[in-house]
Each structure stands twice: as structure tokens, then as C-alpha cells.
Structure 1
């Protein structure tokens, strides 16, 4: 049986209008909603002027593999937070800026990025630590459909 935790995910960027059905299907399949314990997502719920923000409880391992794969394939930036499961894994923040790799950061249950002493020592300087936090706090752009 999978360890299940809460997740939130913000998605931004430009997506071709002909991909609307596909992203809705992926969101629905992953059990995401616009609010904690909210109604199922549908075509009418895309934001007018901000990132698409989604939530779910009881997500296996805190992973949204299908949605993240879709976002990566289409160059859609996202930030996902997943809660921790005691004795198995801690909370994390995943950041994808629209290209490159997804970067994982340690987080707490309040969705804040945290670092350990080992991470601070590895980063080596106050400026590097601040840069680490700045990268983790990536601001997801507005989500839009384009022709």
C-alpha cells in the first residue's frame, strides 16, 4: 500500500488550446481540485490571471507523475509541494522552470523551503544559501491557452 500525503501544485506558462482536453483529463485522473477537498476539476476552472493552483489529499507518495510529465513535455513551469510521511520521507518542493530538470528542495509541512546544516555547509556561503532559497521560491507565471 502506498504512503499517501497532501499535495499542492501551481502551473503556469502557455499551453496550446488544442491541449485543453488532455490537461483536464490528466488533472482529473490525478484527483486534483482548485481547493482542498473541493469538487472535481472541469473545463471552466482555468484561471483568468494567474497560475493554475491545484490541491489534493491522499496522493500516493506525494507524486503527480502524469501531470508533471505533461508539464515537462509542454514546457509548463510548475512548483509542487508534497507533505511528508513520518518514518518514510519528508516534505518536499519540486520546481520546474519550464526547461531543464526538476529540482527538489527540502520543505516543511507549511510549504516553506528548509535546509539542513549539511546543505548550508555544501552551499558554502550566505549568498549561495540565499540563491538556493530564491531558486526554491520560483514564481510560477500566469497560465494561458494560446492558439
Structure 2
């Protein structure tokens, strides 16, 4: 059984022990299960699950923060009498290599207001993006690479 499967099983066991079937109780069980897995990890053998679980735990709130900030920026621009948008089509070199990682990066960029993933090159090394606010294209690409792409690499790519 994988560490993730064991964590889900421990969360379900927690629900059975407490007798309360709620999402909050499942999350508590999953967190307790995660702690148990971290403690017994030497007996289970090598696994990347604890590090990946933490990376996913960081990815979600960081993306939600980016989503909130970019939504406010787009709404503010729409409500202004004059637009401050500088739309551009940019090419971002990709560091992420796995299919899952590329898919997640492109979707998170498209979900963020003001940016849209247009295409991935045939060699899967370049992502074409339309950005609503691209007055400084290099800074925008650097921000996407150090933000969304870095978080996805931490959560999805193999650790070396």
C-alpha cells in the first residue's frame, strides 16, 4: 500500500473511531495520519510522500493567494475609467518536465485572472502565455517561474 493510501485509510479509521462523518473530521484524521506516517516512515521504507504532501500543502494556499491578488488587480483595472493593462503574448521557458507538471502549470496560469496559457511547444520546453498586465515581460515571466512553476515542481516532479 502506498503512503497516500495508508494516510486515507488512517483518516477513515479516525472517522470510524470518532463516529463523526464530516469533512473537518476527515481533514483532522488525514493530518493525524500524516504525523503517524512521518513517525513510522523508517519502518515503511523510503518514500517521497511526506515531502510531497507538504509541497501540496504549500501549493494550495499560495495559489489561492495569487488568485486573490490577481482577481483584485483585474477588477481594479475594469473599474478604473482608463485601463492600465499592457497585454502581450509571452514565451516562458519551462523547467517542469513531466506531463502532470506541465498540465498543472498551464491550468494554474489559465485559472489566474489576467493570464492565459495558449500553447506548449512541440519540444515541451516553452509555454506561450497571454498576459493582461505585461508592462515588464521579463519580471512577469520571472514571477511565474519562481511562483507557480516552482510550487508545481516541488509538488509534482520527482525529487532528486
Structure (1 or 2) with the larger CA radius of gyration: 2
Which of the two has greater helix per residue? Answer: 2
Both structures adopt the same fold (TM-score exceeding 0.5):
no
TM-score (norm 1): 0.30
- Larger relative contact order (CA 8 Å, sep ≥ 6): 1
Which one has the bigger strand percentage?
Answer: 1
